[in-house]
Amino acid sequence: MKRVFLIVAIVASATVFAGLVYAVLVAAQVAAPGATIYGPTPRRLWATAAAVLTLIAAGVGVLALARPGSRIGTASGPLGAVLALVVGSVGAINGGLNLAVARGGPGTGNGVVGGAAAVVLGVIAVAIGSLALARSRRTAFEAGR
């Protein structure tokens, strides 16, 4: 039963993520596909780097959220939360800049899908980092009582 729930949760979250990426592409007015270009381009690499950066920020935020008062590792307590906030916002800004300079839709080599994914993941990383920072401050306050 737990395995089925996990599979359904993964499929649902992937569907929501794809819908959010599409919504960002529509908002940036680059949802229409253009002429397909294969291979890496500088803008695709930029968008991919921003998306990977925000994915790492979300992971660090989850670690900081899971262990708010821990002193072990680089993602512990407020350090991991602040890292998720800063890196997530930098990645989201880079993804937004990539979308702003893109002249075509998906497949044109401008990295619009990676830029949209970076925006969505950056917002998620900032939200998780905010929760982790609030929780780490709360546990620090409770420990000082």
What's the pLDDT at 62? 86
- pLDDT > 70 in the chain, percent: 80
Q: Give the start-to-end residue ranges of the domains of the chain.
A: 2-143
Amino acid occupying residue 8:
V
φ, ψ at 95 (rounded to 5°): -65, -40
Q: Please check the confidence at residue 25 and state whether its pLDDT lies above 70.
A: yes
The torsion of the CA quartet 31, 35, 39, 44, rounded to 10 degrees, works out to -30
C-alpha 67, offset from chain centre: 20
pLDDT in tens, 56-65: 999 888 888 8
pLDDT in tens, 75-134: 455 888 888 899 999 999 998 888 888 877 777 777 888 888 899 999 999 998 888 888
Q: Which two tokens stand for residue 105?
A: 């839709």
